[in-house]
Amino acid sequence: MPPAREQVILVTGCSSGIGRATALEAASRGHRVWATARRPENLEGFSALERVRTCPLDVTDRGSIAAAVARLLDAEGRLDALVNNAGYAQYGAAERVPPEDWRRQFDVNFFGTLETTRAALPALRAAGRSTIVNVSSVGGRIVVPFAAPYCASKHAIEALSDALRVELAPFGVRVVVVEPGPIESRFAERARLAVAPLLADPGPYAPLYPGAERAMGDEFQRGRLPASAAARAIVDAIEADRPRPRYRVTAMARLLLPLSRFLPDRIVDAAMRRALRLPRRA
């Protein structure tokens, strides 16, 4: 059944995972989707889909962002929804992650979201009623040790979204945060590749990494859902007359995020130490 109102939707980070699934889900519901990624060759699978157009967009490059938005508006004449999904995870002990890797994490995850939003906002305001969906994470609310760069960048997205939700309401722009727990995608694989040099680091954290690495692939991946589960939540929010401020995806997200508001920090710390197999005192 076609949606009550066909919408033009721009999605970042569509090379795989949640971004790709969101583009497919939105198109299947009758929306016109612009699927973007830093590397255009990663978008080739969309070429046969009538309702999906592809476009290169590097969220760390203002020129690339502006060109993609301009191309969309030239073809469609309007923009109804923006899904800020592009991102990756940088793991490692906060002390040992090089400063340039910290900056790269924020350039992609946070500033990429901010700059894409800024470029799209004139068109989103002009639409009269539009939606911004920012893809965060359970890690945006609950910090995981050895994932400080990633969690910090997602915390920043949560704060930005809370501000934008109030600032943009007078213009009819709704702002939604989607907070997935563990999702089946290439995200974890890419994270492991990025963290491999840190795991080989002979520094003081070397004895602590093996247990943490096992937990990342065991305890923290229980209850994984396919990327389509997050995609459905994203498109549901775009189509909703009154979307919720936050959509939690997976049982982990629905259970832990409300619970974390009431647990003392020391209990959360102790639970993290047990999950990551860390000694109380090295």
Block mean pLDDT (10 aa), the chain, length 282: 77 94 96 96 88 97 98 98 95 92 97 98 97 93 88 97 98 96 64 64 80 61 76 96 92 69 81 79 60
- Given a contact cutoff of 8 angstroms between Cβ atoms, the answer to whether 2 and 30 are in contact is yes
Here the tokens at position 49 are 């889909």
**Distances from the Cα of 23 to the Cαs of 1, 127, 234, 241, in angstroms?**
17, 20, 10, 20
Query: Tens digits of per-residue pLDDT, 199-238?
Result: 677 788 888 877 766 656 555 556 567 889 999 999 999 9
Q: Is 247 a catalytic residue?
A: no
Rounded Cα–Cα distance for residues 244 and 160 (Å): 16
Here the tokens at position 136 are 């965060």
pTM: 0.90
pLDDT value of position 1? 46
- Given a contact cutoff of 8 angstroms between Cβ atoms, the answer to whether 125 and 232 are in contact is no
Q: Which helix (H) or strand (E) holds 108?
A: none
DSSP assignment of 200-237 equals T--STTTTTHHHHHHHHTTGGGTT-EEHHHHHHHHHHH
Nearest CA-CA partner of 6 in 35, 46, 33, 24: 33
pLDDT value of position 3? 47
Query: Tens digits of per-residue pLDDT, 234-251?
Result: 999 999 999 999 998 876
Here the tokens at position 223 are 């209850």
All structural domains of the chain, each given as residue ranges with its CATH number in brackets, are: 8-199+225-263 (3.40.50.720)
Point out the catalytic residue in the list 150, 205, 209, 247. 150
pLDDT value of position 276? 77
